[in-house]
């Protein structure tokens, strides 16, 4: 199987879907002439032309509204944000229009739209460019939220998102665009709402998603040297969440650690904790451990940033805590 970059997987997914459906178009800042801020739309302007790959002004509220309105006339837009930090400027359109069109129109209109771009930290980009908003969007009925961690999942899930008749938030990472992985040449999709067990284990379940899951892999390799077997679940989709996969794993391992690159208050890990404690409490041999960023805005200093972000050592400590409780 060939190996391609994450950005190439994203580009392939969009291009393949646009070849199959003329109602799909891409719009966002620098997606056309510049080939995308992260080169995730490289070559698409040349293939599809300026009417279907559209450079926008720096006006997220405006072009989000244009794209949402276009769904009501039969289009299926993909909106790229240079970072989801910038989506806050257009969040009124996403929350109050995209997520609610189907219900408020009594089913007369749906809203087949994908909002995609990077989430969470990407190095020294400081506090206003290093935020994870997965739980914000997942809190909204009507939205689906996807956070892939590798090129294979990114392509398969993005194709499913583009075909979906509801609005989908598709969150990537600036630090993953260069990641390489095996992606088949042929057509494939991955169903939305299905988690993936990336690593089988018997002693503890680690649930994570997005780029931070790499720290779980590092930790599991180290813990294996001490005969501690970790099962790693990649959520892939935050909403709808695959509770069954998590519960089945916890019933097997009897311990749970959740790794998430987000602030500790009211996040995805909190929701998972509630679901497991309400549906599988009797299977737990230790309290659930959550690993998050520090409860502050992201620092700029690389020394402070290293302390702020979760890492493999945090995972190892958490796993040993639930194992030896």
Cβ(201)–Cβ(250) below 8 Å? no
Q: Which long-range contacts (CB under 8 A, 24 or more apart) does 313-316 make?
A: 313/219, 314/215, 314/259, 315/206, 315/215, 315/216, 315/218, 315/219, 315/257, 315/259, 315/291, 316/219, 316/222, 316/223
Q: Is 210 exposed, middle or buried (0-12, 13-18, 19+ CB in 10 A)?
A: buried
Helical ranges in 23-150 per DSSP H: 44-48, 60-71, 91-93, 101-104, 134-138
Active-site positions read 60, 129
CA 11/CA 40 separation, integer angstroms: 5
User: For residue 91, what are the β-bridge partners?
Assistant: none
CA 308 to chain centre: 20
Please spell the DSSP secondary structure of 228-251, one letter per residue: --EEEEE--EEES--HHHHHHHHH
Cis ω on the peptide bond leading into residue 240 (within 30° of 0)?
yes
């Amino acid at each position: 199987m060939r190996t391609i970059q994450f950005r190439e997987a994203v580009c392939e997914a969009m291009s393949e879907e646009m070849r199959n459906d003329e109602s799909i178009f891409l719009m966002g800042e620098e997606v056309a002439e510049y080939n995308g801020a992260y080169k995730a739309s490289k070559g698409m302007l040349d293939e599809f032309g300026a009417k279907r790959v559209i450079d926008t002004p720096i006006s997220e509220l405006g072009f989000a509204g244009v794209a949402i309105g276009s769904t009501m006339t039969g289009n299926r837009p993909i909106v790229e944000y240079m970072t989801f930090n910038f989506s806050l400027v257009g969040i009124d359109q996403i929350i109050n229009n995209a997520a609610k069109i189907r219900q408020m129109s009594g089913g007369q209109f749906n809203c087949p739209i994908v909002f995609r771009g990077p989430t969470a930290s990407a190095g020294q980009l400081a506090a206003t460019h290093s935020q994870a908003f997965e739980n914000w969007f997942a809190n909204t009925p009507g939205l689906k939220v996807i956070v892939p961690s590798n090129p294979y999942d990114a392509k398969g899930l993005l194709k499913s998102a583009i075909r979906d008749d509801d609005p989908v938030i598709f969150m990537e990472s600036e630090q993953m665009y260069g990641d390489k992985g095996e992606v088949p040449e042929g057509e494939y999709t991955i169903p939305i709402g299905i988690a993936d067990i990336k690593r089988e284990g018997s002693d503890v379940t680690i649930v994570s998603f997005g780029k931070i899951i790499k720290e779980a892999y590092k930790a599991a390799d180290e813990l294996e040297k001490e005969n501690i077997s970790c099962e790693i679940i990649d959520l892939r989709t935050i909403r709808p969440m695959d509770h069954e996969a998590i519960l089945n794993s916890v019933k097997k391992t009897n311990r749970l650690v959740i790794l998430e690159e987000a602030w500790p208050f009211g996040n995805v890990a909190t929701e998972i904790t509630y679901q497991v404690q309400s549906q599988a409490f009797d299977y737990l041999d230790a309290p659930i451990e959550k690993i998050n960023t520090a409860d502050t805005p992201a620092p700029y200093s690389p020394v402070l940033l290293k302390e702020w972000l979760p890492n493999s050592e945090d995972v190892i400590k958490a796993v040993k805590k639930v194992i030896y409780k």
